[in-house]
């Protein structure tokens, strides 16, 4: 679906983190809907490098870009030489900044702040120099265990990732005061959908439960999973929000969720209906009680007003649309 009628011919778009989950979906949105636009993808493609928790430092994967025909740059946003190249060799009209250390369990506070906050300031300076509108990924993690519904201005991050995203939002507000470019921060809630598989253990429970079921295993959930609620949002609605943020009614920080909280039990039940299975769920004690969000629900009133955003996918709709891809992944990547 096309979300704006604007002719982007002769426009140039930079997508950082463009080999990741959301960045690659953005790249294909533009390629499919605006074939005359020039798309430049920057990504620190995965190597064997890991964080101290054992997870990969970068989740960027070439398979997320199979079929992409734009320009690809392999590089790290912390590399000053890359930033000089972007500044001097291109003229961007829009910047979609998705690159980050996005692992909420990462312990490297220094790397998190350097990558998520300091490098973002450099990209804001690039946007100002090019007079390019900036759309960037903030996060629902800024709210921590704040009371639902989560509203901008009531943040309480519980990990360095959420803290780094909140610092990005504060930095953005400072730039909004002194520049004419549009700056929009999008606080994503629990995103699921195609091209997330290569996030490995940090991929959504939708695809993880789907693959458990396809393997003929009983789905494993925490006890009281019908009471653990999240605002799950399908990737198509995330793309909608990003595209509409290209020309917002007002610069600002906006929640991107459905505005509805659903349970992990709901996910399993919907998957089983779609896959026509009836495996018995297995319930495990929750070891994260006391440091675990039990309810997230985005307040999206200002998002509807500021971005003309309206979520199109209920959880049932998103999972139904996703199931064929979950099955393909299982056959081609998992088995």
Spell out the domains of the chain, with CATH numbers in brackets. Answer: 12-329 (3.40.50.720)
Predicted local distance difference test score (pLDDT) of residue 294: 86
Question: Averaged over 185-207, what is the pLDDT?
Answer: 97
In sequence order, the 6+-apart residues with CB closer than 8 A to the CB of 142 are: 155, 157, 162, 165, 166, 169, 187
Predicted local distance difference test score (pLDDT) of residue 292: 65
Cβ-based burial of 171 (10 A; exposed 0-12, middle 13-18, buried ≥19): middle
pLDDT for residue 176 is more than 90: yes
Mean pLDDT for the chain overall = 96
- The pLDDT tens digits of the residues spanning 75-126 come to 999 999 999 999 999 999 999 999 999 988 899 999 999 999 999 999 999 9
**Nearest residue to 112 via CA among 155, 60, 168:** 168
**What does the alpha-carbon distance between residue 77 and residue 43 come to, in Å, rounded to a whole number?**
8
Question: How far does Cα 70 stand from its chain's mean position?
Answer: 21
**What does the alpha-carbon distance between residue 244 and residue 204 come to, in Å, rounded to a whole number?**
24
Cβ-based burial of 179 (10 A; exposed 0-12, middle 13-18, buried ≥19): middle
- The pLDDT tens digits of the residues spanning 8-52 come to 999 999 999 999 999 999 999 999 999 999 999 999 999 989 999
**Residue tagged 């600002």 (tokens):** 252
% pLDDT > 70, the chain: 99
pLDDT for residue 145 is more than 90: no
pLDDT for residue 61 is more than 80: yes
On whether the CB atoms of residues 122 and 39 are closer than 8 A, the answer is no
**What does the alpha-carbon distance between residue 145 and residue 167 come to, in Å, rounded to a whole number?**
18
pLDDT for residue 281 is more than 70: yes
Residue 184: which region, alpha, beta or left (left: phi > 0; alpha: psi -120 to 50)?
beta
**Catalytic: 161?**
yes
Q: How confident is the model at residue 5 (pLDDT cuts 50, 70, 90)?
A: confident
Catalytic residue among 29, 161, 188, 322: 161
Question: Averaged over 161-188, what is the pLDDT?
Answer: 97
Predicted local distance difference test score (pLDDT) of residue 170: 98
pLDDT for residue 289 is more than 80: no
% pLDDT > 90, the chain: 93
- The pLDDT tens digits of the residues spanning 228-279 come to 999 999 999 999 999 999 999 999 999 999 999 999 999 999 999 999 999 9
SS3 185: strand
**Residue tagged 């595209």 (tokens):** 243
Cis status, amide bond into 149, omega within 30 of 0 = yes
SS3 282: strand
pLDDT for residue 210 is more than 70: yes
pTM for the structure as a whole: 0.97
Predicted local distance difference test score (pLDDT) of residue 290: 65
Q: How confident is the model at residue 293 (pLDDT cuts 50, 70, 90)?
A: confident
Reported residue count of the chain is: 335
Catalytic residue among 11, 38, 165, 199: 199
């Amino acid at each position: 679906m096309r979300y704006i009628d604007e002719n982007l011919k002769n426009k140039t778009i930079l997508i950082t983190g463009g080999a990741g989950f959301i960045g690659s979906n953005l790249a294909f949105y533009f390629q499919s809907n605006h074939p005359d636009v020039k798309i430049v993808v920057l990504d620190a493609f995965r190597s064997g490098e890991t964080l101290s928790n054992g997870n990969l430092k970068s989740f960027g994967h070439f398979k997320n870009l199979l079929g992409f025909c734009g320009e690809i740059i392999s590089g790290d946003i912390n590399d000053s030489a890359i930033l000089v190249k972007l500044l001097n060799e291109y003229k961007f009209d829009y910047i979609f900044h998705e690159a980050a250390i996005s692992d909420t369990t990462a312990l490297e506070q220094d790397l998190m702040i350097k990558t998520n906050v300091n490098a973002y300031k450099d990209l804001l300076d690039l946007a100002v120099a090019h007079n390019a509108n900036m759309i960037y990924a903030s996060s629902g993690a800024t709210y921590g265990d704040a009371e639902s519904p989560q509203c901008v201005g009531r943040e309480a991050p519980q990990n360095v990732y959420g803290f780094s995203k909140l610092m990005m939002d504060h930095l953005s507000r400072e730039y909004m005061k002194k520049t004419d470019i549009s700056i929009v921060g999008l606080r994503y809630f629990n995103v699921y959908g195609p091209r997330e598989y290569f996030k490995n253990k940090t991929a959504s429970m939708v695809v993880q439960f789907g693959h458990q079921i396809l393997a003929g295993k009983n789905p494993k959930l925490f006890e009281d999973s019908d009471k653990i609620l999240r605002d799950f949002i399908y990737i198509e609605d995330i793309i909608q929000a990003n595209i509409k943020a290209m020309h917002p009614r007002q610069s600002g920080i906006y929640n991107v969720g459905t505005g509805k909280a659903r349970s992990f039990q709901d996910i399993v039940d919907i998957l089983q209906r779609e896959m026509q299975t009836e495996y018995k769920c297995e319930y495990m004690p929750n070891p994260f009680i006391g440091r675990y969000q039990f309810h997230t629900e985005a307040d999206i009133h200002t998002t509807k007003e500021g971005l003309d955003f309206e979520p199109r996918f209920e959880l049932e709709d998103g999972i139904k649309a996703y199931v064929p891809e979950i099955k393909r992944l299982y056959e081609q990547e998992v088995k």
